Amino acid sequence: MNLISTPLLAQADPASAGAAPSMERVPTVSERAAEALQHGIWGAAFYIVIGLVAVLIVVSVLGLVMSYIERKVAGHFQCRLGPMRVGPHGILQSLADGIKLLFKEGIEPGHGDKVIFIGAPIFSITATILLLAIVPVAPGIQVVDMNVGVVYIAAVSGIGVMGILMGGWSSDNKWSLLGAMRAGAQMISYEISLTIAILVVVMFSGTLRVSEIIESQQQGWWIWRGHGVAIVAFCLYLIASTAELNRTPFDLPEGESELTGGYHTEYSGLRFSFFFLAEFANLFVFSALATTFFLGGWLPFHIGDYEGFNRVMDILPPVISPLFWFGIKCTALIFLLMWFRWTFPRLRMDQLMRLEWKVLLPFGFANLILAATVVLTGLYFFPTAT
Amino acid sequence: MDYLFVFLFVCLGVAMVLGGILASYLLAPRNPTKVKQSPYECGEETIGSSSINFNVAYYLFAILFLVFDVEAAFLFPWAVVLRELGIIGLIEVLMFVLVLVVGLVYAWKKGVLEWES
């Protein structure tokens, strides 16, 4: 398992160390592939193909499902019905949209940089796929689970900015350029707050491996156990991830009323759909990661060693339970992010930058130091093993 | 094996987009005209080049970001072994963060964080 963090935890934090070995570790797809490699190349190839195909399907299905949910939620928030025509309650609407986009002409701008224009969606979609690979849905339902998982997340999520900057720059369009510059400034600024919020959880759990962060929350999710600092970190994470996703109230890069489409103004047909796909898959990824870090991932709602209550929460059979709990937390967060969109008005560029650099960043650092003192003094809830 | 997967996922991303472009090349109509390829500006004729000057503030924020993001990267190992380092580690990190906060305050006072300047 993890060479660095486990022994440290064992001597420093009896809570997490006591909880971790009690559960059998289910190997991820990548670990299964590594194991199969010892018996022959074909077994490993089988698992590799499973991993790749699974992520490919998840990206496509997420794009379809999320755009449908988004439109339905938007509709009902405005006392409309949303899409109703294609299929029962319009569930085939996004599929029809996808087919339509496939048959649309992909217009290339006359003067733009063609290579970068084609390359931009590659960067966007690759960043999303790489992030999806590490999302822990349930024990074993995770493609890669590396020992530097959190650093990997921080590193890979930065690639998405490249795609947007490249797309806006190469389009030879003023809207696109302005949208891309705004997106770049916004996404890199809020990335700092995002990282600092995640750092709080890393401190609490003492590991960078995503599945171990979840296992460390057996006694209770970090948002409850963290004595307030985790709640502040969770709010920071939510705000920063909304900005990273370019969603309202931080949707300046593609504010329709001022920049038409922002960085993807000149993209049409299937090329546009890749930006679209990446954006919706990212919505899922950031919600799933918030679930992992703060809400205990696939773990059911437990309160310390309160046996009676915990047993009621464990009532689901062990196969369904992780999927159910992960699904319900993740869906709730996605709904919350969609709710934001119909609640807050869009910020102005100077307000956006002031919020990050003068409010969130100092707050984030103060919270980080406070969290370190909380961890060192052992002040968080349920510090002992049952 | 994890990093082989990462490499394969990068390939998958490239293949997905190139495959999509190939599919639309085969399926979608292609009829580029001069008007269609001109920059879209809500129906107005574009005046001048699209490579316009933009606000220098973007650049300043990018530099500030670089400093703080590298700092966050330095904080990761500390956060993992926080319990083992104890109070000494916290004090050291406090000094490290303090130096950067002084930088932020300096930038703040200099007006770098003001969008209008």
DSSP A245-296: TT-TTS-GGG-HHHHTTGGGTT--HHHHHHHHHHHHHHHHHHHHHHHHHHS-
User: Which domain range does residue A324 map to?
Assistant: 2-84+111-377
- A9-18, A27-36, B80-89: which is most confident: B80-89
The distance of A311 to chain B (nearest Cα, Å) reads 31
Average pLDDT over residues A16-41: 67
Nearest to A250 by CA among A198, A191, A294: A191
- Residue A177: pLDDT band (50, 70, 90) is confident
Whether A9 has a pLDDT exceeding 50, the answer reads no
Question: Which of B68, B69, B104, B117 to mutate to probe the A interface, most A CBs <10 Å?
Answer: B68
User: Once rounded to an integer, what is the mean pLDDT over residues A244-262?
Assistant: 78
Of A118, A181, A369, the CB nearest to B94: A369
Kindly report the backbone phi and psi dihedral angles of residue A253, in degrees, each rounded to the nearest multiple of 5, phi listed first. Answer: -60, -25
User: Considering the domain boundaries, does residue A93 fall inside one?
Assistant: no
The mean predicted confidence, pLDDT, of chain B is 82
Of A13, A110, A265, the CB nearest to B37: A110
Taking 60 as the threshold, does the pLDDT of residue A22 lie above it? Answer: no
Q: With a threshold of 0.80, does the pTM exceed it?
A: yes
Average pLDDT over residues A170-199: 87
Is residue A99 in a domain?
Answer: no
A281 near A128, Cβ under 8 Å?
A: yes
Is there a domain that residue A105 lies in? no
First to last CA, chain B: 50
What is residue B91's three-state secondary structure?
helix
pLDDT at A20: 41
Q: What would the pLDDT profile of A103-161 be if each residue is shown by its tens digit?
A: 888 777 777 778 888 888 899 899 998 898 888 888 878 888 888 888 888 888 888 88
Residue A383 within a domain: no
A80 CA to chain B: closest CA distance, Å? 28
Residues of A in contact with B45 (CB under 8 A): none
pLDDT at A312 over 80: no
Domain presence at residue A224: yes
Domain presence at residue A320: yes
| pLDDT reading at A100 higher than 80 | yes
Residue A171: the pLDDT is 82
Query: Higher model confidence: residue A367 or residue A378?
Result: A367
Q: Residue A7: is its pLDDT beyond 50? A: no
Rounded Cα gap, residues A154 and A143, in angstroms: 18
Q: How many residues does chain B have?
A: 117
- Contact, A219 vs A208, CB < 8 A? no
Q: What is the pLDDT of residue A266?
A: 80
CA distance A183 to A1: 39
The pLDDT value given to residue B114:
76
What local confidence, expressed as pLDDT, does residue A24 receive? 65
Cβ neighbours of B111 (radius 10 Å): 11
- Cβ distance A372 to B21 less than 8 Å, yes or no, reads no
CA–CA distance, A62 with B41 (Å, rounded to integer): 32
Residue A300: pLDDT band with limits 50, 70, 90: confident
Contact A232, A367 (CB under 8 A): yes
Structure tokens that stand for A69 in this block: 């949910």
ipTM exceeding cut-off 0.95 for this assembly? no
Is A329 a member of any domain?
Answer: yes
**Residue A286: predicted pLDDT:** 92
In a domain, A90, yes or no: no
Inform me whether the pLDDT recorded for A376 exceeds 50: yes
The number of domains in chain A is 1
pLDDT in tens, A321-373: 888 888 899 999 999 998 988 888 888 888 888 888 888 988 898 998 888 88
- Interatomic CA distance for residues A18 and A384, integer angstroms: 9
Q: Which of A6-15, A312-321, B71-80 has the lowest mean pLDDT?
A: A6-15
Structure tokens at B87: 């109070």
Classify A262 in phi/psi space as left (phi over 0), alpha (psi -120 to 50) or beta. left
- Rounded to the nearest angstrom, the minimum Cα separation between A181 and chain B is 7
Residues 6+ apart with CB under 8 A from A1: A25
pLDDT of A56 > 80? The answer is yes
Q: What is the pLDDT of residue A334?
A: 92
Q: How many CB atoms are located within 10 Å of the residue B94 CB?
A: 12
Higher pLDDT, A13 or A204: A204
B80 to A111: CB separation less than 8 angstroms, yes or no: no
